[in-house]
Chain A
Amino acid sequence: MRVRTLEIDGRMVTGAPGESIFNAAWNNGIQIPRLCHVGSLSDVGACRLCLVEVDGLDKLQPSCLTPVREGMKVRTDTEALRRHRKLIIELLMAERNHVCAVCVANGACELQDLAAALGVDHVRVEYQHPKLEADLSHARFGLDHNRCILCTRCVRVCDEVEGAHTWDIAFRGGESLLVADMGGPWGESETCTSCGKCVQVCPTGALFSKGASVGEMRKDRSFLRYIVTAREKRQWIR
């Protein structure tokens, strides 16, 4: 297997054939921002935060879906990219009701952290204030659509790791909604195994454990690598 050599932010790095620019960058300590990517799951390019500039290409490329090529020149942190990323965060904040102060994930939310890290101190677009429900029909977990950013981490972990495929996204565009099975209450889902993987990978307070009050929900994704390593390498190691 011949490695590919490329340049990211002026540094020579290598990646395996087929590996994403995103992975090659992170493996070399270049931390491209992201909200929909989770290691061990497939990538979908939903959040657009990992967009990068590639020499010779007019359009910005989602680094999680763009494989490394020999001699490629990539920039991950230009003024224009920083501007785009800030706007993406602002659009996410405005699309639904992300009221951090009363959110279960306050203080441990990837959207909240990334907003601060990217210097988002206010939202320039108009808040939509959509009227959305919370589904509290499950015995152990809750789903608050107000906090959902439609990253589909839950959809993918349920399908690819748990193998249940309880979750999906229904409807289109601004109407898009996370649904269990065919759209009924989560608690009545016939496929959900109540494993809670979706809750742990959710970057915000959209999926949470019942009983968690404001700022109490803490998520742990370390189980994911554990399970995937066990499955792929037959090794139950942490």
Chain B
Amino acid sequence: MDPLKKARIATVWLGGCSGCHMSFLDMDERLLELAGLIELCYSPLVDTKEFPEVDVTLVEGAVAADEHLEMIHRIRARTKVLVSFGDCAVTGNLTAMRNVFPLEDVVNRAYRQNSDIVNGIPGGGILPMLLERVRPLHQVVPIDHFLPGCPPPAEAIYTLLRHLILGEPLPPVGKFG
């Protein structure tokens, strides 16, 4: 990447718990140092509506709903280096645990059996529609880097960003879980 320009970074939250973003914030004072190297263009942490053209995107979460599917294709088209960020993105993880059940059973469980007030199952474009199967990102779009972990340690995020921005060495592969 051009050393004279700040790297344009995005972070995205798909079918996950936001724990990977918490780990991102766990970089603590190193965020101040990163602020000198990156421009955070799109993220749950900033108020941008439209996904822009960026150098690097960290995507947390699996592809679980129609909205995620549309989003991940848009992200891939506008991102130079796409990072599968955390176990849900990399393996499906907890988000994909529903894959052993038919989608209908999952929805019934949430909106009928475990619900005090049954208003029926939401539909008609009000909420994103769940996909029949949850998939890790790389089964949907090509991925450039994988950052496993639930969540990936702050140190791993920091080292990967410095690798991508400054060309510093990559650390060894981290663990799932």
Contacts and interface: CB of A to CB of B under 8 A. Distances in A.
Nearest to B138: A122
Interface in A47-83: none
B172 interface: yes
Contacts of A103: 177
Contacts of A119: 172-173
Interface residues of A, number: 28
A99 B97 contact: yes
A235 B146 CA distance: 50
B99 interface: yes
A227 interface: no
Interface residues of B, number: 27
Contact of A100 (B136, B147, B177): B177
B90 interface: yes
Interface in A99-151: 99-103, 106-107, 109, 112-113, 115-116, 119-124, 126-127, 129-132
B84 A101 contact: no
Contacts of A229: none
A-side binding surface: helix, strand, loop or mixed? loop
Q: Which of B84, B100, B138 is packed against the most chain A CB atoms within 10 Å?
A: B100
Q: Which of A93, A109, A127 is packed against the most chain B CB atoms within 10 Å?
A: A127
24 contacts: A97-B97, A98-B176, A99-B93, A99-B94, A100-B176, A101-B150, A101-B176, A101-B177, A102-B97, A106-B177, A107-B177, A112-B177, A113-B175, A115-B175, A116-B173, A119-B173, A120-B173, A121-B146, A121-B174, A122-B84, A122-B91, A122-B136, A122-B138, A123-B136
Interface of A: 93, 97-103, 106-107, 109, 112-113, 115-116, 119-124, 126-127, 129-132, 215
